[in-house]
Amino acid sequence: MVALMPHTTAKTAKTFENLLTQWREDIGCVFARDPAANSSLEIILTYPGVQAVLFHRVTHRLWKKRWRLSSRLLAGFARAVTNVDIHPGATIGKRLFIDHGLGVVIGETAEIGNDVTLYHGVTLGGTTWHKTKRHPTLGDNVLVGAGAKILGAITIGNSVRVGANSVVMKDVPPCCTVVGIPGRVVQSKGAKIQRKDGIDLDHHLIPDPVGKAMSCLLERIEVLEAERKQKVAVVTEDCANCEADTVCHGEQKITVKLKS
């Protein structure tokens, strides 16, 4: 037993060191994604999304050690404090940033990659009661807009942007923008969201297919109106050469039947 103590102590120290490293990364990533952040202390004390992630780093370790009740109790306390519900069984990668945090729900079998950003009201939920993989998997550099719902055991590829209030229930390939209910791919960027100067947070710059269609219709109407005016002008010029049995009134040509 005495021989095992140094090994156990070293393992515990390494686990604690890894936890601190994760915490530093979780706090440090905020500066690149939120211009309102001023200091690490401010982030720790006033960012509920960050607090929820820091709590989850602990509850997930307890969950993997099969201290299920302890992990659920601590997760419940974190939910009461932050209003962010993250199941201890969820697997979360490095540098997750939950901005504002209000109403975010992450299910038990959800898997989140590195450098993911979630806004308030996001749900990573399940669509079955079976004890299987039932929650979504998010790749690296994914950004999910406010109020979006990603449901089921689906996969969201790397560098995907999900528009606000969208409901996504099918797999999404990498480097795409998804909007709508149900979610549909409206743009394939062909490039990663991750840039040299940080993560692209322009999730509001989403294509509007309806607006684009209306714009095309308006342009077509203008072209048709221009063509019509040209034809009317030609007809008006020909009025000078009208025959005696016709009378021109503006743009209309009326045939007059003469009595014999």
Residues 79 and 72: their CA atoms lie apart, in Å, by 10
Q: Which string of DSSP letters, residue by residue, matches 112-165? A: E-SS-EE-TT-EEE-S--SSS--S-EE-TT-EE-TT-EEESS-EEPTT-EE-TT
Per-residue pLDDT tens over the stretch 12-55: 777 777 888 888 888 988 888 888 888 999 999 999 999 999 99
Residues 52 and 60: their CA atoms lie apart, in Å, by 12
**Could you tell me the pTM of the whole model?**
0.68
Q: How far is CA 194 from CA 158, 203, 245, in A?
A: 10, 13, 76
Fold of 4-207: UDP N-Acetylglucosamine Acyltransferase; domain 1 (2.160.10)
Neighbours of 108 (CB within 10 A): 16
Contact 100, 83 (CB under 8 A): no
**Sequence spans of domains, the chain:** 4-207, 211-255
Per-residue pLDDT tens over the stretch 169-211: 999 999 889 998 888 888 776 544 444 445 555 555 555 666 7
